[in-house]
Amino acid sequence: MAFIQCDFYSEVLGMSTSVQVILPQRTTGQIGLEGSAAGRRHPTLYLLHGLSDDESIWMRRTAIERYAAPLGLAVVMPNAARSFYTDMENGYDYWTFLSEELPQLCRSFFPLSDRREDNFVAGLSMGGYGAFKWALKKPEQFAAAASLSGVTRVSEIEQRFPRDFRLVFGNNRELLEASDLFGLARHAAEKKLELPALYQCCGTDDFLYKENIAFRDYVRALNIPLLYEEEKGRIHDWSYWDQQISRVLDWLPLRDQAE
C-alpha cells in the first residue's frame, strides 16, 4: 500500500485542507503484508472521522491499511473538523466540499474509479452520521454505506454538543430538517430511490445505542434493507471500531480484482 498525505487548497472551503489516502499496491515481497491492485481504476472507500478527531485518526487508531491491502481498495480520509459534514450556518461548507469537490479532486490526483459500484462510504460516530447522510442524500454515488456507532438524531447533537450545534445549524430550521437522517430515509422510501446497501452497528453499552436502535427500527419500518449488528457490552471506543471496520471491508460488495 502507498500512504499519501495531501494538503491542497479547497475552492469550496476557501482554505487549505488535509486528506490522507491509502492507495493499493501489488506486492508479494513486503514481509507480513500482501498487497493487491487491479489494472483498472481503484475502488474507493471514503472513511469519515468522528467529532473529536481529524483525517489522521483512522491510520493512528486502527489497522485500516493492513485490512485494505489484500482488497485492492483505495481509502480516502478527509478532514471535516467538527462540522457534522454539513454546510455550516456559522462556519465552512463541509457538505459541499465532501460530496462534490473532494471526489473530483481525488480522482484528478489518483487513479480512482468514478463508477457507483466501485465507491463506498463509512464512518464512526459523527462520521457514521456523515456516511448515512451522504448515502441517503446522494445515493447514486455509492454501492454501500456503513455507520459505526453513528449519531442518528440531529436533536442528540443539540443536547450533547450544544456549542457545535449552534455553529453548525444556528437557528436555521430548514438546514436542520434537511440534515435529519430520519427525514432523509423517509424521503428515500417515498421516492423509491435506489439506495446503497446499508450496514449499521453499535455496542449495547454505547451512549448512542438507543438512538441507533430507533433509527434501525424506523428504516426497517420503511422497508429499506439494512444489515444491523450489535455486540453486547461494547462501548464507544477504538477497540470496537477497529474490529468493525475490518467487518465492514469484508461486507463491501467489491468486484473481483482480476476483472
- Cα 163 to Cα 192: distance, rounded to the nearest angstrom: 36
Q: What element of type H or E holds 77?
A: strand 74-78
Query: What's the average model confidence in pLDDT over 224-231?
Result: 98
d(CA 140, CA 230): 28
Q: What is the pLDDT of residue 258?
A: 40
* Res. 37: pLDDT tops 60: no
Taking only the tens place, the pLDDT of each residue in 245-257 is 999 999 999 976 5
Residue 258 within a domain: no
pLDDT of residue 255: 78
pLDDT for residue 111 is more than 60: yes
256 assigned to some structural domain: no
Q: Which of 2-6, 28-32, 62-66, 212-216 has the lowest mean pLDDT?
A: 28-32
150: left (phi over 0), alpha (psi -120 to 50) or beta: beta
pTM of the model: 0.94
Q: What is the CATH number of the domain that holds 117?
A: 3.40.50.1820
Which whole-number Å values give the CA distances from 209 to 79, 124, 134, 212, 213, in the listed order? Answer: 26, 13, 21, 5, 6
- Within-domain flag for 259: no
Cα Rg for the chain, rounded, in angstroms?
17
Secondary element (H or E) of residue 125: none
Q: Mean pLDDT for the chain?
A: 94
Q: List, for residues 116-141, the tens digit of each pLDDT value.
A: 999 999 999 999 999 999 999 999 99
In this structure, is the dihedral angle defined by the CA atoms of residues 170, 171, 172 and 173, taken in order, positive or negative?
A: positive
Based on the structure, what is the number of domains in the chain?
1
pLDDT > 90: percent of the chain: 89
Query: Poorest-confidence range of 20-29, 40-49, 145-154?
Result: 20-29
The parent domain of residue 217 ranges over 2-251
Residue with cell 422497508: 223
User: Residue 7: what are its φ and ψ, rounded to 5°?
Assistant: -120, 115
Pick the closest to residue 43 from 135, 110, 108, 90 (CA basis): 110
